[in-house]
Amino acid sequence: MPYNIIKEDLNGIKLIEPKIFSDNRGYFFESFNQNDFEELGITETFVQDNQSSSKLGTIRGIHFQYNNPQGKLERVLRGTAIFRIVDIRIDSPFFGQYREYKLSEENKLLLWVPKGFGNSFSAESEEVVIHYKCTNFWDAKSEISILYNDKDIGINWNNESPKVSDKDLNGISLKQWKEMNIKI
């Protein structure tokens, strides 16, 4: 199999290492193969691919959709990013907990984030280019941003003056999300 799950967290998140074929010309690897991913337990159909670019010091997230929730298969094409993935399933024993994953163009790791998790990352290099496959279409009406610096989550971003969007600065708290009582 051309993939190896090197870590599983919070009952769903998977950090995946692809098999890389390198020689003096460069490298090759499969970034996605539906049959192989089904063997890893990722059986969802992907319907949309996205790519983003972020400058050093940027923090994006914590984002998710409550209607039409998305699973995401993420990888870094350029630079380095630290992803912080938060369990936002209100009935989960891991609710409000987060895990960190460092993805880079060097390590070529893939991160599977299933439905029910808030997604965020920080750009740790001059430029970070991220590609991600989604299991559902973007739904602006049901997108939520939880405050990136919510004290109840307690993420240490290691950044004294982050670049953050207005949407993320004006997000809701984890407590407010729980009070909405929406199950994903």
Which residues belong to the active site?
63, 132
> What sign does the CA torsion over 174, 180, 181, 182 have?
negative
Look at residue 78 and give its three-state secondary structure: strand
Query: DSSP H helical segments within 28-172, as ranges?
Result: 34-39, 166-169
In angstroms, the CA 46 to CA 70 distance is: 9
- Strand segments, DSSP code E, in the chain are 3-9, 13-18, 21-23, 26-28, 48-55, 59-65, 72-78, 80-87, 98-104, 110-113, 117-123, 127-134, 143-145
